[in-house]
A and B are shown apart, each in its own frame.
Chain A
Amino acid sequence: MPAEIRKLIVQVDETHREMGREVNPPTRRALAMAVIRNPFAGRWVEQLDELIAIGEELGGLLGARCVQALGIEPGQAHSYGKAAIVGEAGELEHAAALLHPKLGAPLRKAVEKGAALVPSAKKQGGVGTAIDVPLGHKDAAFVRSHFDAIEARVADAPRADEIVVAVSVTASGRPLPRIGGLQVSEIQGQDGLR
């Protein structure tokens, strides 16, 4: 069964100035969210394959929506992250099924390469619950300028039998990074770490 999507939401967050200083080029972060029906709401289901397949579908869809909203080529993406908010009639493991087994591969295809782990967060919540989606560089998790988070929230979701699935892709790091560490120019991009 494909995902039963009630809403699709795409946001772009640009920062042009910080503390009176110009951010040049502006940081640009995209966030795509799908509100889906949880096929396992309200009951115990041992095998979570259906949600795993939906995760694969959404990894491609939401990743592509982010890249499209940023107006970039896939290879120009910098960092990424993923998260899910499970409505009250679901269980946390439903978020795990969406996010971990299969969402990553199509997301990596949408951003080209993606050697690094896709950082993630999950929680249960009611309508309007916010989740902070962690962000890390897509090819080297230790790039310090790209450690960040973006808040995801849908005002009228998740209903009890729904799940909010969020994917973020950026074209930048933080606005004015200056705490050292591994730089983008130093990425080797082999092991996903450095």
Chain B
Amino acid sequence: MNLIDIRRIVTTVEDIFHEGGPRAAEPPRRGSIAVVMTNPYAGRYEPDILPMMDALTPVGIDMAHRLRAAMDLPPERIESYGKGAIVGAAGELEHGALWHVPGGYAMRELLGWKGDAAAYKRGDSNAGQGGNALAIVPSTKKVGPPGCALDVPLTHINASYVRSHYDAMEVRVPGSPRPDELVFILVMSTGGRVHARVGGLTAAGISKWDGLR
């Protein structure tokens, strides 16, 4: 049985210039990719769903690369990421949980080999972003009807506690998921909130390189 049957792919890229305050010198660019596919386990309880997790690995990698291409940026520009899943009504939440490993792995594959954390830590301005994707990829999932919106969380790729980068992007595919479908989502952004000003850890203040701070 072929576990992967993709029906639709929807990419979104948005440039945020301001939100009522000063225009951003570098407007954050946020992107999402949503893949709509058949849920091979819809309509029944299937005890062993792990084969689907393996089958999703190349899908995730392809999605991450497609999203980066749509955002038209080098991977070093990506500062935050997140992932999510929407399960059609004939499926169960656990089917959405299949996305945790392949979705997270995909973006780390894209970002993880880039950058030089040691140089970044030294403050070497030519080192670029220490894009090692050290932090957990935040996620959310739900069971929902066609057109259901999912608020996909975003956090910094190297330190989950970077307060300026706590964000979420609403992702929604009109008409999907049908009851026997799954929507798997990846989101990435080049920056935090456009007018971030509530203090806390900043990207420049990352010091422990443990994925948290």
Give which listed residue, A5, A14, A155, contacts B10 with CB less than 8 A: A14
Q: Which of A15-23, A110-118, A137-145 contacts B (4 or more CB under 8 A)?
A: A15-23
Interface residues on chain A, size class: 20 to 34
Most buried by A among B6, B147, B169, B174: B174
Give Cα distance in the complex from A156 to B11, angstroms: 18
Q: Using a Cβ–Cβ cut-off of 8 Å, how many residues does chain B contribute to the interface with A?
A: 24
Question: DSSP majority for the B interface?
Answer: strand
Given contacts A151-B174, A153-B172, A155-B149, contact A6 B16 (CB under 8 A): yes
> Smallest Cβ distance from B43 to chain A, in angstroms?
15
Shortest distance between the CB of B135 and any CB in chain A (Å): 24
Instruction: Give the residues in chain B near A6, CB-CB below 8 Å.
Output: 16-20
B-side contacts of A7, CB under 8 Å:
14-17
**Could you count the A-B residue pairs with CB atoms below 8 Å apart for me: how many are there?**
57
Chain A contact residues: helix, strand, loop or mixed: strand
Nearest Cβ in chain B — how far from A58, in angstroms? 14
For A72, what are the chain B residues with a Cβ–Cβ distance below 8 Å? none
What 1/0 flags go to A120-132 for Cβ under 8 Å of B?
0000000000100
Residues of B contacting A12 in the complex (Cβ-Cβ under 8 angstroms)? 9-11, 70
Q: Name the A residues within 8 Å of B13 (CB-CB).
A: 9-11, 69
B5 contact set on A, CB distance < 8 A: 17
Contact status of A13 and B149, CB under 8 A, knowing A5-B17, A7-B17: no
- Other A-B contacts than A7-B15, A151-B174, 18 sampled, CB-CB below 8 A, are A6-B17, A6-B19, A6-B20, A7-B17, A9-B13, A10-B13, A10-B14, A11-B13, A13-B173, A14-B8, A14-B9, A15-B7, A15-B8, A16-B8, A16-B9, A17-B6, A156-B19, A159-B20
